[in-house]
Amino acid sequence: MAGPRVEVDGSIMEGGGQILRVSTALSCLLGLPLRVQKIRAGRSTPGLRPQHLSGLEMIRDLCDGQLEGAEIGSTEITFTPEKIKGGIHTADTKTAGSVCLLMQVSMPCVLFAASSSELHLKGGTNAEMAPQIDYTVMVFKPIAEKFGFKFNCDIKTRGYYPKGGGEVIVRVSPVKQLNPINLTDRGYVTKIYGRAFVAGVLPFKVAKDMAAAAVRCIRKEIRDLYVNIQSVQEPKDQAFGNGNGIIIIAETSTGCLFAGSSLGKRGVNADKVGIEAAEMLLANLRHGGTVDEYLQDQLIVFMALANGVSRIKTGPVTLHAQTAIHFAEQIAKYFT
């Protein structure tokens, strides 16, 4: 499908991997050749990192496209997509690069593949600077499926910073079209639940301390609801490396979902990790929107692809969401 080539400046707005994810997914879906320049130009290590590279290679493989300039550290790529096919595809960051970000770039594409897809995504399942896999399964999945598709996410192995080594298998059947969503009625909070985990050599007490600190923090603001945070020791055969973290979810009467999460780091005590997640959740509940700060940008691509007008009510619009909107608008212009 030869047509105009979309030119994207990778250094503006969020200026990072998100521009690549949104642009290449839409380029693939719309059959538009793409050039991205100045990739991550302002970052401390500019250019493509392993997780960006594996995401790009997966999109190329999904559609038998052509990809030039794709190597670690490269600041310019060109991508020429072909028809999206289904089947089994593997992407491996070989680092703790986030499997959730690999899913973000590939999910919109496989929804419109010629047949069902099975994606084997390898890297970090609970990584910094990205949604945790628990967020993807517990918050993103139920809300995204309101657009009228279903996917299955099987967590084979969890992997943590700095080693990675996690793997999830995502199965998706294609759809003819996406339906618009209307998420404007927030309702009231009906339940709060979560998961505090330790993996590897970390003692179980760390999970219990994170959970207890989070519950105490939430109690100060929300007194009338039972907060059910499970403490979990990840089974040895299902986790690679050492890690700890927590995710807390609030569900509302209209089916809205909000989350707060945090990952442990060396030298940071467990209480602090729990409190950080609780405070993030409470901040997301205070703003009165129907989606939390991490979901708003992830829904933009699906809103752009849906057959009609979607509405979501947000709190403050994040830079990631503004970036997703900007590039969705810019690329859709070529497709009129």
Residue 166: exposed, middle, or buried by beta-carbon count in 10 A (0-12, 13-18, 19+)?
A: buried
Residues recorded for the chain? 336
d(CA 81, CA 31): 6
Q: Is 62 annotated as a binding residue?
A: no
The answer to whether 295 is annotated as binding is yes
Does the annotation list 330 as a binding residue?
no
Q: Which residues of 248-264 are buried (b: 16+ CB within 10 A; e: fewer)?
A: bbbbbeeebbbbbbbbb
176: number of Cβ within 10 Å: 8
Say if residue 298 carries a ligand binding annotation: yes
Cα–Cα nearest to 42, from 19, 59, 23, 26: 19
Question: What span, in angstroms and rounded, lies between the C-alpha atoms of 90 and 92?
Answer: 7
Give CA torsion, residues 318, 320, 323, 329, to 10 deg: -90
Query: Counting Cβ atoms within 10 Å, is residue 225 exposed (0-12), middle (13-18) or buried (19+)?
Result: middle
Backbone angles phi, psi at 257, to 5 degrees: -130, 135
Whole-number Å distance between alpha carbons of 71 and 49 = 8
User: 320 an active-site residue?
Assistant: yes
Instruction: Give the integer Cα–Cα distance in Å for 281 and 297.
Output: 17
Q: Which two tokens stand for residue 194?
A: 């979560």
CA distance 100 to 307: 25
52, 89, 120, 320: which one is catalytic? 320
Catalytic residues: 320
Q: Which residues line the annotated binding site for ATP? A: 104, 294-298
